[in-house]
Structure 1
Amino acid sequence: MVCIIDWEYAGWMPDFWDALKATWMCDDDDLWLHFGRRVFREHDEELKADWEWRIRSQVTIL
């Protein structure tokens, strides 16, 4: 078997990475954000901390 690895996107990511990436482009009132929080319940604290960081740092999402 032969495969090609794209090292630009390869790497170890923490468990909550999928939850953060799934909700990164969401607004506070976005239905997708609420859905993501229900799907990734075990990472609710990380999602809340990330949201707090975005609000305080005034990071532009788009």
Structure 2
Amino acid sequence: MYKTGETVRYWGVKTGGLTWLSSEAMIGKVIDWQREKQSYKIEGQSGTIQDVPERLIDGDCEVKSG
């Protein structure tokens, strides 16, 4: 399980009942866990909030600045 505020890498999002996969990893911060959906709310780098199934999260990643 990931903690609120943790930076993670993820490979897709769920929108309108469909799961969209990405060939490139996206990076965002965990803002909430949804137990009933087995997914996390993640704020992406663009500031958008995404619903990400737990199985599409790669785990903790270190974001390097500059």
Of Structure 1 and Structure 2, the greater helix share is in: 1
TM above 0.5: no
Larger Rg belongs to: 1
TM-score normalised by L of structure 2 = 0.25
Relative contact order higher in (CA < 8 Å, ≥ 6 apart): 2
Of Structure 1 and Structure 2, the greater strand share is in: 2
TM-score normalised by L of structure 1 = 0.26
